């Protein structure tokens, strides 16, 4: 049980760190370099930092996939799928439920609508959109782990059934 908890904890920690580091570099370091390049007219650092941002995002995708796969936990798979799906579909959720079109009231109540808009504006400030890429990796990794765990459980139950069926019947006394 401790080993399973450790795998859950590592998978959650990897997800949080990947999202935080990706957002920090994309919306902080890279966005600041873009602003500086607009003032100094020197785009050189932006090109190098963009490459680093893409490498960090790819490393985060691989780390998320490995952590999810190594956990082999339905709990982690569902968590990754829910959180990743929410973040991937956040722009669509904001548009569908939290945006006022032609002065009409929002579909979602005001506290929910303003929270969705704030989350979206915070995450969309990045130059490369690394948070949404990492969220897509979380969603796909979560779905893959869910499928793998369910397939493994199905195989183990079907393997146990023929073994029980092949057991010789007990003789009556």
- Residue written as tokens 């006394």? 173
Q: If you ran DSSP here, which 8-state letter would residue 43 be given? A: -
- Give the Cα separation of 108 and 96 in Å (integer): 9
- Give the Cα separation of 67 and 69 in Å (integer): 6
Q: Three-state DSSP class for 89?
A: coil
pTM for the structure as a whole: 0.83
Where do the domains of the chain lie?
A: 2-150
- Residue written as tokens 């650092």? 45
Q: What is the pLDDT of residues 110-167, one digit of tens each?
A: 899 999 999 999 888 888 999 999 999 999 999 999 999 999 888 877 766 665 555 5
- pLDDT score of 65: 96
Most trustworthy range by pLDDT among 1-10, 27-36, 41-50, 59-68 = 59-68
- Contact (CB, 8 A) for 144 and 69: yes
């Amino acid at each position: 049980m401790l080993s399973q908890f450790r795998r859950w904890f590592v998978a959650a920690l990897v997800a949080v760190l990947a999202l935080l580091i990706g957002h920090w570099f994309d919306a902080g370091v890279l966005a600041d370099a873009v602003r500086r390049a607009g003032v100094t007219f020197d785009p050189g650092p932006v090109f190098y930092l963009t490459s680093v941002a893409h490498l960090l995002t790819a490393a985060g995708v691989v780390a998320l996939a490995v952590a999810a796969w190594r956990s082999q936990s339905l709990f982690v798979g569902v968590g990754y799928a829910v959180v990743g799906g929410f973040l991937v579909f956040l722009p669509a959720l904001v548009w569908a439920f939290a945006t006022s079109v032609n002065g009409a009231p929002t579909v979602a109540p005001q506290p929910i609508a303003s929270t969705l808009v704030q989350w979206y504006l915070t995450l969309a400030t990045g130059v490369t959109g690394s948070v949404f890429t990492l969220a897509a990796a979380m969603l796909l990794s979560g779905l893959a782990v869910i499928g793998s765990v369910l397939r493994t459980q199905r195989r183990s139950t079907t393997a146990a059934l023929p073994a029980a069926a092949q057991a010789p019947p007990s003789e009556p006394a």
